[in-house]
Amino acid sequence: MLKTYQRQRIANGPDAVRAADAIRRAQAQRNEWPYVHVYPPTNSIRRNPTAYINCPAAGVQATILTFGVPSGYWFFMTQLGLFFSSATFNPGDFLFSVDKNTPLGGGAFQGVPLTDLQNIGFPFGAFQNGPWSLARAELFAPEDVIRAKVTNVNLAGGAPNVFGAMFGGWLVPSVEFGHAE
């Protein structure tokens, strides 16, 4: 039988500093488990709001999906679907955007475009295959309003061109999450 022996590694200099920092980070995060941004807590509520619209006229922006986070809850969005169904399209024929607290046609004072989710010229996911999983959950506060919008740049309006959107994730009560409203 082959025996293996674990060798103890002694770090010095910059390696010792990096190792100590890694241990400090692990200790600081140990009480955050089970990481509600990755694993939904038992008291969470699954939400997958979805909607679709026929293609608006060329040059027009339209809202596909509006989701208001209920008072007393935080929403962890872990999946995003921005869908398009038609026979053919070229990248840039339409532009998807996802924002927070920004009504259609104008920027609200508190409106916020979501980083890297503006002017997307291709679908995220597909009607047939579902949404994309986000690398990290997007967190939305109580009473935030999330909107998926599309601007038709160069398509014929109406059917058979159809746009859809889906926000997948879960709601966590504010009290349980440890954040006040």
- Over residues 22-72, the pLDDT tens digits come to 878 777 766 666 677 777 888 889 999 999 999 999 999 999 999 999 999
Q: Dig out the tokens for 104 from the structure.
A: 């259609």
Whether 180 shows a pLDDT value over 60: the answer reads: no
pLDDT (tens digit per residue) in 92-136: 889 999 999 988 876 656 677 788 888 888 888 777 777 888 888
Report the distance separating Cα 181 and Cα 174, nearest Å. Answer: 7
CATH of domain 45-177: 2.60.120
What does the alpha-carbon distance between residue 158 and residue 58 come to, in Å, rounded to a whole number?
10
Q: pLDDT digit string (tens) for 67-76?
A: 999 999 999 9
Give the tens place of pLDDT for each residue, 135-146: 889 999 999 999
Q: Which residues of 39-51 are buried (b: 16+ CB within 10 A; e: fewer)?
A: ebeeebeebebbe
181 — pLDDT class (breaks 50, 70, 90): very low
The whole-model pTM stands at 0.75
| Integer CA distances (angstroms), 137 to 22, 29, 80, 109, 150, in order | 23, 17, 10, 25, 22
Using CA atoms, how far apart are residues 48 and 122, in angstroms rounded to an integer?
21
